[in-house]
Amino acid sequence: MYGAIEAGGTKFVCAVGNEAFEVLDRIAFPTTTPEETLTQVFEFFDRYELKAIGIGSFGPIDINRDSPTYGYIKNTPKLAWANFDLLGAVKQRYGVPVGWNTDVNIAALSEAAKGAGEGMRNVLYLTVGTGIGGGAVIGGRMLEGFGHPEMGHIKVRKHPDDPFAGTCPYHGDCLEGLAAGPSIDARVKKKGYELGQDHEVWDYLAHYLAQALYNYSMVLRPEVIVLGGGVMKSPVLLSKVKGILLELIAGYIDIPSIDRYLVPPKLGDDVGVIGGFLLAKMELDGER
């Protein structure tokens, strides 16, 4: 049996699965302090014999195996977790191989293996919610450079009618600053789901997200882009993004039809834990 931990900034999900990556048991609880949260993680997993575990974590995290802080959560506004050795704590408890990557990279892994990108070797996963994060499987492997991607922080052109300065504490008006959920709140003092589908904010967000997807497409050349996160649930947003992205590409690169290129996630709530099982198996098999 495999264990999976989806370590999110607001909640943790733990699950155990079989060789077919089917979920046999799962539990979710709020993310509080490392001590409290890990006590709950251990209570859940202590009841099982696990062969390996996979962790998909909120970031930024250290995924460089040669680094002395490999397995640590790095600087994060959630101060109790900053510089916490999450991988080490889990490894020490269970003494089995533990895979470690970002929540969005294992979402890409999961959708590539069993979801919207099934059978494809080049899958980009982007979540647009409280923040914007991207992960990818390229050439059949998770995208990892010297560190993990920080795709949400790229620069995009401002929409000429959007005066908003952005919410990113590091970059102001980077993509995340201009197009994540809190940018809607900051502009109009409403949540996205409270806005009419004809509100101009959707034009701004579509303008930024389409540019970002265009840039990712030119750099990574995915076969499919899976768009998750609460903000993407607006029906008008996806449709606007598709139109602008097609204009930007202008026929320059081959993509599938736009409705097969930009798709919603297929694995729903299981995307993280299935990704965790897959990562656990990769770590067990020594695949990197």
The tokens describing 175, both together, are 């993509």
8 A C-beta contact, residue 248 and residue 214: yes
Binding site for a second copy (CB under 8 A): 60, 122, 134, 138-139, 141, 143-151, 153-158, 170-171, 211, 214-216, 218-223, 248, 250-254
Least distance from C-beta 150 to a second copy, angstroms?
5
Closer by beta carbon to a second copy, 113 or else 136: 136
Closer by beta carbon to a second copy, 24 or else 218: 218
Give the chain's radius of gyration (CA, Å): 19
Closer by beta carbon to a second copy, 9 or else 147: 147
Least distance from C-beta 175 to a second copy, angstroms?
9
Least distance from C-beta 60 to a second copy, angstroms?
8
Angle formed by the axes of helices 86-94 and 34-45, nearest 10°: 30
From residue 141, give the alpha-carbon distance in Å to each of 106, 136, 210.
11, 8, 25
Query: From CA 136, how far away is CA 138, in angstroms rounded?
Result: 6
Closer by beta carbon to a second copy, 191 or else 221: 221
The tokens describing 266, both together, are 């297929």
Look at residue 129 and give its three-state secondary structure.
Answer: coil
Least distance from C-beta 124 to a second copy, angstroms?
9
Least distance from C-beta 30 to a second copy, angstroms?
27
Closer by beta carbon to a second copy, 86 or else 138: 138
8 A C-beta contact, residue 267 and residue 230: no
